[in-house]
Amino acid sequence: MIAAQPTPPVRLHSLRDGAARAIAADDLDLKTELAQDAARRWMERRLSLRSPLDHAVPDRPGRPARPTLIPPQQVPRRSLHSLRGRIALLHSIAHIELNAVDLALDIVARFAGARVPNSFFDGWMKVAFEEAKHFRLVRARLQALGADYGDLPAHDGLWQAAHDTRNDLTARLAVVPLILEARGLDVTPALQAKMRETGDHESAAVLDVIYEDEKGHVAVGAKWFRFLCAREKRDPAAAFQALVRANFRGPLKAPFNDVARAEAGLTPSFYRSMTASTNI
């Protein structure tokens, strides 16, 4: 259930318009506000899906001047046992969550003409709403620690995955929720434990919220991936593996959180057989 909040004074022509405007916004408070407002209006059925007056879907999301974007391998790693290390981790998570806002909005705006039921857009706007919540939670925690989003460099790999699958909804679902978001289910429990070991229970509590919500996000991806495969009479696991090989750069990474993945509908048959062939 999405709680009602005051709506910003922005006239939206449709859900697609609201999603496109939020993606384009370079003010991050406005971006998250627009994402959540569009989600509320859509859930209350106060928006149509599309309109001829809609803004175009941006090829890249709006961003502030910082952080500086650098290649992924150049992003420094630090120990979580130092304050600087915990800030660096939270900054990385904030960047992931910000990209996740735009990725959820992009699947709505870019594929608004796809032959899917309206419940497809219900699911992804709930995801967009929650990703905006996550970004705000992590940013608030950074600020409480004397830092802010943009203070450290970040990389652009997540948005590149969206760009590479912009013309294929099934590939988008395979890559974004079923690889990138599922990876969060694999790594977050260890990060929660490490935060608690250092005594940073406030940051661990933020990760708790993100972890529980992300199970639902992967589940949305798995549900609609299976839906499209069933319509095309394709085996979901085989289709996933073929799409990963064609559209994902680099190998999948073990270890896998099989329990959380299965709860989300992503069973080991999707990814376990790829271990040997992709040298995971």
Amino acid at residue number 172: R
Please report which confidence band the pLDDT of residue 163 belongs to, taking 50, 70 and 90 as the band edges. Answer: confident
Sign of the torsion formed by the C-alpha atoms of 97, 266, 260 and 114: positive
For residue range 174-220, list pLDDT tens digits in order: 999 999 999 999 999 999 999 999 999 999 999 999 999 999 999 99
pLDDT of 223 > 80? The answer is yes
What is the pLDDT of the chain when averaged over all its residues? 92
The confidence score (pLDDT) of residue 30 equals: 96
Section 239-262 average pLDDT: 92
The confidence score (pLDDT) of residue 214 equals: 97
**What does the block give as tokens for 67?**
């952080």
The confidence score (pLDDT) of residue 279 equals: 35
**41 in helix, strand or coil?**
helix
Are the C-beta atoms of residues 102 and 23 closer than 8 Å to each other? yes
The confidence score (pLDDT) of residue 278 equals: 37
The confidence score (pLDDT) of residue 5 equals: 52
Interatomic CA distance for residues 41 and 49, integer angstroms: 11
Which phi and psi (to 5°) does residue 239 adopt? -65, -40
The confidence score (pLDDT) of residue 2 equals: 58
pLDDT of 122 > 50? The answer is yes
**69 in helix, strand or coil?**
strand
Q: Classify the phi-psi angles of 48: left when phi > 0, otherwise alpha if psi is within -120 to 50, otherwise beta.
A: beta
The confidence score (pLDDT) of residue 74 equals: 75
**Any bridge partners for residue 69, and if so which?**
154
For residue range 68-114, list pLDDT tens digits in order: 988 877 777 778 889 999 999 999 999 999 999 999 999 999 999 99
CATH 1.20.1260 fits 15-56+78-277, yes or no: yes
Please report which confidence band the pLDDT of residue 162 belongs to, taking 50, 70 and 90 as the band edges. Answer: confident
pLDDT of 275 > 60? The answer is no
Going from the C-alpha of 43 to that of each of 3, 13, 163, the distances in angstroms are 11, 15, 27
